[in-house]
A and B are shown apart, each in its own frame.
Chain A
Amino acid sequence: MINPNLTLAFENCKLEKRPALLTYIVAGDKNKNMTLNILKNISAYVDICEIGIPHNTPVADGKQIQDSSYRALKSGIKLNDVFEIVKNFKKADSTKPTILMSYFNQILQCGENNFLKKCKSVGVDGLIVVDLPFPENKQFADKCKKHHISFVQLIAPTTSDERMKQIVKHSHDMIYYISMLSTTGGKLKVTPQKILNNYFKIKKINKEKNIVIGFGITEKTIKSLRRADGLVVGSQLCKGITDSLKSNKSPVKTLTKIVKSLRSKIQ
């Protein structure tokens, strides 16, 4: 166990016989306060909060998250603001596991050690670095471990069996399985059964690891994958913010409603 908050969240869900619900929103979309407000309002229904650090060249993200990221950057959000959001959120809900999602360049420019120190001081529990795959991430993952921050390894449908074993071996508390060949926000183009088959293939390598599935998961598809340890919804929430802003509605209310509904579907 590297991070107790994360492990406990998964254990609680297992006791309740349901998958963990993980949500993703971009920090600073559409501004700092709104992000904090959303987090505080959805927290009661969410098991793990993922927060994206916006990047202006997000090669792995589809349109929804790109839109969120550009909005956040336009609002002038800086890395320190992201940490401040986490800090304030943790003040309100100290045990809610919080994962930051980033591209590696942002960590590199901040300095790996400096970045981790800041994460630790505000209470970040885990990190996902989209473009730092295994084995290139070994050294950084070790550093995370020393700070009791869980480095989340990713596995894709293209990952070979041998590589999968290596990744599972080097993983921390949680592994992220990418459901299909897609950027974030794509429509689910494979059957839930096929996704679950791959999921159980990973699970078989080590039953102790918590595996979450992400990409293409929405209110419509979430129920079909409820056998997983956890499910991540991101783009639908980013789209929720976009739609609310367009129609002059409150993104906080919209997102709370979506998250409540997501939770009810896996209860």
Chain B
Amino acid sequence: MIKIQKGKPIIDQHDSSYLYAGKFGGNFVPETLKKPIEDLTKLFNKLRRDKKFIKERDYYFKNYVGTPTSFIKLYNLSHQLGGAQIYAKVVSEANGGAHKIYNAIVHALICKHAGKKYIIGDTGAGYAGKMLSMAAKKFGLKCKIFMGTKDMARQKPNCDAIRANGAEIIPVDSGSKTLVDAVSECMRYWVSNCDTTHMCVGSTVGPNIFIKICAWSTAQISRELIVQIKKEFGKIPKKLKLINCVGGGSSSIGFWNSFMDFNKKQVEFIGVEAGGPKNSKLHAAPLTNKSKIGILHGAAQYVLQDKEGQISETQSISAGLDYPGVSPLHCFLKDAKRARYTSATDEEALAAYKLVASMEKIRPSLEPAHAFAEAIKIAPRLSQDTIIIVNSCGDAKKDKFILEKRLGKNHD
């Protein structure tokens, strides 16, 4: 049976081949990248144990990102639905409007420590790209962002922000023209320029070291939350459900990290994947829909693919969740039965956005709207003493045009 070890960071629970549970993750990369990955692994291992580096990280998290982000009760929503009490961790308050800023800042710091002047990254919803461009500007790094042309069209506000920060967007027109192709193209660029350039992978995917750096960075979310929960309730509630959307899985792993060792009956993790348009077979939910293990972007994971190992196209209203694979860490949590995974359709996410935006002050982007859809679904049948916390990890500004198109001009 696959078990999560207590008292050991989840990111370090791999074997000597960097595989979690002996089968997820690893470094399935071209020979050229072996050395750069090894160098980065050594550097990160050193830095994460270096008090000065931690101080530096915390300084920027506090003064640039703006920590802690608030933890609020959604009174109206809770009242309307009855049942469980619904709270939100408003991570979208972070500078830039989403959790991607944590990973971006850490990568920019690592890039500086590695003595490199160029930084590259992929983006789907545009948040990872926007944040990396912000961090690059802050630390004086030259930045290129790889983005699928389909995503560029649907997430224009973030593209404008990336360019305003002085970064260059490299349009990726191959394959499905979305995140999966952006990550591939970014990796290709790194193969050719790994001697001068640092690569940031925008989520907890890719070769092992990128999964580690990203999850280590977003762990800030639950470090704050556990303190806020204790302050609000005096202790960790007996029935707590932490609901988060899952695309690559970076926000959820950070949202859950500090609660990993709790019994799942007390602290349940619920991951919500993108179900795609209603009745469509093109979804982006490899964990919910029992995909087989395959290799994508250097790591073994549950991934949508055909019998011959060709990666499948996905479709979701949310560019940030529109990815055929998922973090090996989530595959590990699923097989260890520590987390439960489900999906919400495009329509459910839109309806959830509408309800939350009409009743509360927060405006969750289409990614966390998937998590709210699950909260809305389950809250009415739960007891009053059950606490649901949704990670509202992104702000809906970037979805302005999609929301106008689907819900009308005055959508909230």
Contact = CB atoms under 8 A, between A and B. Distances in A.
Contacts of A58: 184
A105 B17 contact: no
B66 interface: no
A8 interface: no
B327 interface: no
A109 B29 CA distance: 18
Majority secondary structure, A binding face: loop
Contact of B174 (A66, A133, A155, A157): A66
Given A103-B295, A132-B28, A136-B27, A158 B308 contact: no
B231 interface: no
B174 A131 contact: no
Contacts of A133: 27-31, 34
Interface stretch (A141-149, A180-188, A195-203): A180-188
Given A133-B34, A158-B32, A181-B32, A105 B188 contact: no
Interface in A80-129: 103-110
A253 interface: no
B31 A59 contact: no
Contacts of B309: 55, 103, 105-110
Contacts of B30: 59-60, 130-131, 133, 154, 156, 178
A106 B36 contact: no
A109 B292 contact: yes
Interface in B286-310: 292-298, 305, 307-310
Contacts of A154: 30-31
B292 to A, nearest CB: 7
Nearest to B176: A56
Contacts of A62: 188
Given A60-B188, A132-B28, A158 B194 contact: yes
Contacts of A130: 30
Contacts of B29: 131, 133
A70 to B, nearest CB: 8
Nearest to A183: B188
A160 B34 CA distance: 10
Contacts of A155: 31
Nearest to A57: B311
A140 B199 CA distance: 29
Contact of A131 (B17, B195, B295): B295
Contacts of B298: 59, 131
Interface in B138-152: none
Contacts of A134: 31
Interface in A242-260: none
A159 B298 CA distance: 18
A57 B33 CA distance: 17
A233 to B, nearest CB: 19
A105 B191 contact: no
Contacts of A103: 295, 309
Interface string A138-177: 0000000000000000111111100100000000000000
Contacts of B409: none
Nearest to A54: B310
A110 B188 contact: no
Nearest to B181: A57
Contact of A104 (B36, B195, B295): B295
A155 B35 CA distance: 11
A216 B123 CA distance: 29
B191 A131 contact: no
B180 interface: yes
Given A59-B184, A133-B27, A156-B34, A110 B308 contact: yes
Contacts of A131: 28-30, 295, 298
B175 A57 contact: yes
B194 A181 contact: yes
Contact of A156 (B31, B180, B187, B293): B31
B321 to A, nearest CB: 18
B28 A55 contact: no
A79 interface: yes
Nearest to A167: B31
A73 B174 CA distance: 13
A217 B120 CA distance: 27
Contact of B296 (A57, A61, A110, A183): A57
Nearest to B19: A136
A136 B180 CA distance: 24
B404 to A, nearest CB: 33
B191 A182 contact: yes
A107 B295 CA distance: 10
A78 interface: yes
Interface string B16-48: 010000000011111111111000000000000
B70 to A, nearest CB: 39
A156 to B, nearest CB: 4
B34 A159 contact: yes
A147 B17 CA distance: 25
- Centre residue among B194, B292, B310 by max chain A CB count within 10 A: B310
B36 A105 contact: no
Contact of B308 (A79, A132, A163, A178): A79
Contacts of A105: 294-296, 305, 309
Nearest to B180: A57
B25 to A, nearest CB: 12
15 contacts: A57-B175, A59-B184, A59-B298, A73-B310, A105-B296, A110-B309, A131-B295, A131-B298, A133-B28, A133-B29, A133-B31, A136-B17, A156-B32, A157-B32, A183-B188
Given A131-B30, A158-B34, 15 more contacts: A57-B310, A62-B188, A105-B296, A108-B295, A108-B309, A109-B309, A110-B308, A110-B309, A130-B30, A155-B31, A158-B33, A159-B35, A163-B34, A181-B193, A182-B191
Interface of A: 55-62, 66, 70, 73, 78-79, 103-110, 130-134, 136, 154-160, 163, 178, 181-183, 186
> 7 tightest CB-CB pairs across the interface, nearest first?
A109-B309, A158-B35, A156-B32, A105-B309, A105-B295, A106-B309, A154-B31
